[in-house]
Amino acid sequence: MDIQKIYDKIYELEEDNHLKAGLYFSIIQIKKDNPLLSNEVNTLYLDAKKFISCYINSIEERDLGYDVIDTNKILKCINLLGDYQEQFQLAQNAYRLLRTKGFEDESKTLRTIMNQKKTQLIKSKPYFLGKYFKLILHLSSYSLSSIALSIFTIFIITYIVLLPAPIESWQNFSVVYHSYSDSFYINHMVNIITSLFGVTNDFKVETSNLTGIFTIMSIKLFYLVFIVNYLYKKFIDIING
């Protein structure tokens, strides 16, 4: 079927989003099977974007009990595009539209898909160090559970770093504790936690050389930049949607 004729039908439909969505999906499939037609009238990306918009709007217009979004249809449309950047942008657009229309459960599904597409996009980049740095940042902050896991991992690393060195010559700093428990390791953990939350006690870290100073400064800077700023901002973004 001639693509231009399908577009003409779409223009004639005006407000019938259900039929328009079906026609846009037909165009997408035709273009996918015939790459030379991918930019005919509209780009494949724009057709996919219009399909998602028409599909979501058509479901919103349905009666109670029939207004259920099939997120698999949206995902199928997204996956028909081969470019990761376009897939991510489509998932992001679908997520925002679902949030705007009040489809809370479906928007959560699309947020997961959006994060998966962003992961694929970052992995597809050719540069090495920058790619893995961005990937670590993304994987550590794309959901509430990943943020919680990141904070827990950072705490464990801090816990280990502040433990007394097994050999005295390796000792770069010493830790003065407030006594909370007879167990050294539990006491070590509680002192770190209370310090992080600003609880006043006897806990302090005394550096003995430049290496110790650099280590403690690096830990504090990392906490300030990564947790207090970056992860907190991501946390607020997720809560606000």
Closest CA to 124 of 86, 91, 93, 95: 86
Q: pLDDT value at position 62?
A: 77
Element (H, E) at 205: strand 204-207
DSSP secondary structure, 80-109, as one string: TS--HHHHHHHHHHHHHHHHHHT-HHHHHH
Q: How many CB atoms lie within 10 A of CB 75?
A: 19
Q: pLDDT value at position 55?
A: 94
Q: pLDDT value at position 198?
A: 78
Per-residue pLDDT of the chain (241 residues; tens, 9 = 90+): 577 778 777 777 777 888 889 888 999 998 888 888 888 888 999 999 999 999 999 998 876 766 789 999 999 999 999 899 999 999 999 999 999 998 989 999 999 999 999 999 998 887 777 788 889 889 999 889 999 999 999 999 999 988 888 777 777 888 888 889 999 999 999 999 988 887 767 788 888 888 888 888 988 899 888 988 899 999 998 887 6
Closest CA to 80 of 20, 21, 18, 33: 33
Domain ranges of the chain: 3-125, 140-240
Q: pLDDT value at position 241?
A: 67
Q: pLDDT value at position 115?
A: 93
Predicted TM-score of the model (pTM): 0.76
